[in-house]
Amino acid sequence: MNEFQSRPGVDAGRLKTIIANLGRLRADLMDAGSAFLQPIRDSEFLNSIKLRSAIPGGTCEFDLPEYFCWLSQPAEVRMRAFGQWLGLLRPLCDAIAELLWLTRQAGRSRHEIAKGGVFMIGFDRDAPAQLLRIALPAQDGLFPEISGGGQHRCNVRFLKWSGGLNARAAPIEEDVPFTLTICA
């Protein structure tokens, strides 16, 4: 980020704010220490829920009585517990959110058309992609299925949501206009 300070056309005030924010987030992570998540890892209550939730039907009242007791507590008691857990995670969440924002802002959007509902994306070998974003109008009921085709490319296939429990999404065979953003 410091390199941008000498470039013409850069908003110096905005850049200074971003650099200060990144410095604050880094300091918050450093202050949290390397074992800041240890209380969550050591929580017997949370570990029992994690272990039992992997088993089909494992979160029944007789399997996790402490969890069901906790669920019956007043909302303010449960929110206080959530606040404690989230407080431990906050430095990491804030740093990740800021880095994702910066990554998204670095992307360049372009309008594309997936011929027959299929599109191949090639990435620049010298500027590896960090994030790929595809935007579609929500009312179309379409969604992208992205599969890696190698280190420098991926394939996108558009499907139409079935709208039902028993039907699978169907591939689109028409051309699909969309907005592609590759964030480096």
CATH of the domain at 36: 1.10.3900.10
Q: Mean pLDDT over residues 155-165, rounded?
A: 86
- Count: domains in the chain: 2
Last residue of a domain, one of 66, 90, 105: 105
Q: Is the same domain home to 100 and 116?
A: no
pLDDT at 151 over 80: no
Mean pLDDT of 35-42: 88
Residues 49, 20 within the same domain: yes
- Give per-residue pLDDT as tens, 107-116: 889 999 999 9
Q: Does 8 share its domain with 72?
A: yes
User: Residue 128 sits in a domain of what CATH number?
Assistant: 2.60.440.10
Q: Are residues 156 and 68 both part of a single domain?
A: no
Quick one: pLDDT at residue 137?
85
11 and 60 in a common domain: yes
Which of 105, 133, 154 delimits the end of a domain?
105
Q: Yes or no: say if 118 and 155 are a contact pair by the CB < 8 Å rule.
A: yes
Among 39, 73, 105, where does a domain finish? 105
Segments forming the whole domain that contains residue 144: 108-183
Say whether both 116 and 98 belong to one domain.
Answer: no
User: pLDDT confidence of 171, banded at 50, 70, 90?
Assistant: very high
